[in-house]
Amino acid sequence: MKWRYLILISAWCVTVSTAFAADKNKISAQLEAMRSTVETVAGKTEGNREAAADLDQARNALRYADDSFKAGKSMFGFGDLTPEAEKEIKISLDTAERATATALSRIEYVRATAELEAIEKQFAVVTGKLKLFEERKAEMERLRGEEIKCQVISKELETIKAEKTALVSQVEQLSGERNRADKLKIEQLELSRTVDELKTENARLTALQEKQTPEIKTAPVTAPVPDDQKKTIKK
Amino acid sequence: MRNVIISACMALICFSTFAPAATVPVVPETRLQQLEQRAAKGATTTAGEYANELLDAAKQCIAEARINFSAGKESVATRQLELATIQLNAADAKAAEKELLEKVAVRRSELKKLEARLERFRQGEDN
């Protein structure tokens, strides 16, 4: 009977200690995992002081957790963790996790800053190129406008040329007519002068005839008329 | 002589118990108030916009720390204050990160549009 009680008590102790050991192992594993995460992130800091400080806080928190884990065991280190120690470990783990996440945020911030800087540089380059293209486009549009204006002016020039040609022919026609008019005027002047001469001649001949008429009446001799006088009379 | 020694010991015991009781809570209270003010101020900045959950967690942590200080659980409360401090730092860092990432995303999108436009120019589509 005593042996039976002894076996039962031993079995209970083994079960309980196994259960406690499982809990302890779980916490220990969590601490190790967190420590590994912290060191992995530490490899990415690349001289980022703020992130390094965050990771130091995470390491301190893990150290607190270790201390709580060691100090919080009841029954001279063989029993379960006290609730207060468990809570402290959980808080320390949360602290380490949050500090590590903060370090990652700061690392990401630095990376994003570098990316933004690169984007801004590329932005300036692309903007410069676009400006050149836009200026070229504006220049082309201006030249197209000039071309249209030139086409209009060219058409106007052709019209003016046609009008000029017509005017030149008109001028030539008028010049011809004027020349003809001038010639006629000259001819008219010549004719007028001839008429005047004839009138003068006529008057002279008339006077001569009148002078000779009494002589004829007294001596009706038929005097021969000079040839040049005959011609003048005929005219 | 015996009475003197006893009264001196009593006085020493009184000082050793009352003096910390009078001074110790002052430091956590100041610290708690500072953290509460920081959390309240953080809610009005970009941290409130981008990392509100962290601010809420920090506020909760500060409240729990206050309760634990009152209950005499100083060790847990001190850890909670540390956690709250780091949560507030995390909120600031997260907000700065998210704000910057948004800006990067916007600028990247604008740059892509510009590059697409430049490409159209190069191919003569936008002339």
Q: Which residues pair with A73 in a beta bridge?
A: A81
Q: Given this model, what pLDDT does residue A220 score?
A: 55
CB contact under 8 A, A92 and B79: yes
Is B10 among the domain residues? no
Number of structural domains found in chain B = 1
Q: Given this model, what pLDDT does residue A17 score?
A: 52
- Closest to A24 measured CA to CA, from A75, A58, A59: A75
Contact (CB, 8 A) for A109 and B96: yes
The ipTM assigned to this model is 0.78
Q: Given this model, what pLDDT does residue A80 score?
A: 76
Is B86 among the domain residues? yes
CA distances to A73, B96, B109 from A145, in Å:
91, 52, 35
Contact (CB, 8 A) for B100 and A109: yes
Question: How do the domains of chain A map onto residue ranges?
Answer: 15-136
Q: What is the pTM of this model?
A: 0.67
Is B45 among the domain residues? yes
pLDDT band at B23 (very low <50, low <70, confident <90, very high): very low
Q: Given this model, what pLDDT does residue B85 score?
A: 95
Which residues of chain B does A99 touch, with a Cβ-Cβ cutoff of 8 Å?
A: 86, 89-90
Is B16 among the domain residues? no
Which tens digits make up the pLDDT trace of B31-80?
A: 999 999 999 999 999 999 999 999 999 999 999 999 999 999 898 999 99
CB-CB: which of B93, B110, B127 is closest to A105?
B93
State in Å, rounded, how far the first CA of chain B is from the last one: 110
Place of tokens 């995992």: A33
List the pLDDT tens digit at each of the 235 positions of chain A.
564 565 456 555 545 455 555 566 888 899 999 999 999 999 999 899 999 999 999 999 999 999 988 887 765 555 678 888 889 999 999 999 999 999 999 999 999 999 999 999 999 999 999 999 999 999 999 999 999 999 999 999 999 999 999 999 999 999 999 999 999 999 999 999 999 999 999 999 999 998 888 766 666 555 555 666 555 555 5
> Considering only CB atoms, which residues of chain B are within 8 Å of chain A?
73, 75-76, 79-80, 82-83, 86-87, 89-90, 93-94, 96-97, 100-101, 103-104, 107-108, 110-111, 114-115, 117-118, 121, 126-127
Q: Given this model, what pLDDT does residue A150 score?
A: 95
B118 pLDDT more than 50: yes
Instruction: Determine the distance in angstroms separating the CA of B45 from the nearest CA of chain A, rounded to an integer.
Output: 18
Is B2 among the domain residues? no
CA distances to A190, A191, B99 from A185, in Å:
8, 10, 104
Q: Given this model, what pLDDT does residue B16 score?
A: 47
Residue A221: φ, ψ to 5°: -85, 135
CB contact under 8 A, A95 and B127: no
Task: State which residues form the domain around B76.
Answer: 25-122
